[in-house]
Each structure stands twice: as C-alpha cells, then as structure tokens.
Amino acid sequence: MIKLPSSLTTVTRFSKLMAGVLFIVFIISAFFAGMKYQAMTDLIKIKQSNLITAQPSPTPANLANDSLILFEKEEGWGPCPPEDRICRQSTKLYSSGKLVLEGAKIFEKQLDKEKMEKIKNQIKLSNVIFKNCSAGIILDYTATYILNIDGQIKTIKYPGCENELKRIEELINQ
C-alpha cells in the first residue's frame, strides 16, 4: 500500500470549505441538469404529439355550412381558486361570421363579410396551417387553437405560432 504524504491527507479549514462548496455546487448543478433533461423530454413528447397537425377536413361537404367553425380557441389559466370564479374562456368564429365568446358570460356578435374575408386571408397568408407550431409548455396558462380553412384543420397548443395567432385574434377582436 502506498503511503501518501501527510500534507495531502490533513484536514484543514481550506479543505473543509472546498468540500462544502463542491457539495453545494454539485447539488445545484444536478438540479439544473435535471430541469433541462425534463424540458427536453417534454419537448420531445410535444413534437411527437404534433406530428399530425394539418389534415384534410373529415367532412369537406360541410364547407358551405354556416355551422362550420373557422377559428376556435379554448383557454384556461390557473391554478383556479375553489370559489365560483371562471378560469376558462372559449372563442368560436363560425364561417357565417357569428362570433361566440363564452366565459363568465356569453357574448355573441355577427362579423360582416369584409371582416371575415380579412380574417380568412390572414389565416392563409400566415401559412399557419402548414407551419410547425410546437413549443414549450407554459404551466399557468393553456390555450388550444383549432383553425379550419380550405378543408384543412390545424390544432395548435399555446405558445406555438404565437405571433401568427395573435394577428388573427387582433382582426377578430377589432
């Protein structure tokens, strides 16, 4: 057995301090490495769930039907308190121009044809139907968008394609 010099095996104030610092640094770095690993696995799951995003409408014969939803947004935020507060809202825009907002109250409005054309053009120009809109997870807010244009249906989870959807919503809310 090899005998080490006593200068290498003596416990000093500096060696105690160095051991404590390394111990704390190791714990903190392991915590952040674990968070990064979890974020990567969550992103992989999101990408896998969004592989089939643009698909033909299952009922193209209904395209002329006024009950066809052009834009839909289901959103919720939390944690929701146990009282009677509403922590979700729904927005539906039908191809007929009927806009329905449901939350604490229900609000209905009829959009004119010119505004509907602007909204449809914005959806087409943004090319959001064919974009990859996968994004990270937001824990205190959730929104699912469903767009239906020219027989193509696209489901997007927030914050995917956030800027494109924001422009479409701005036109709807004008």
* Cβ-contact 63, 149 below 8 angstroms: no
pTM above 0.75, yes or no: no
Residue with tokens 């604490």: 104
What is the SS3 assignment for 75? strand
pLDDT tens per residue, range 124-168: 999 898 889 888 877 778 889 999 988 889 999 988 899 999 999
Give the model's pLDDT for residue 48.
54
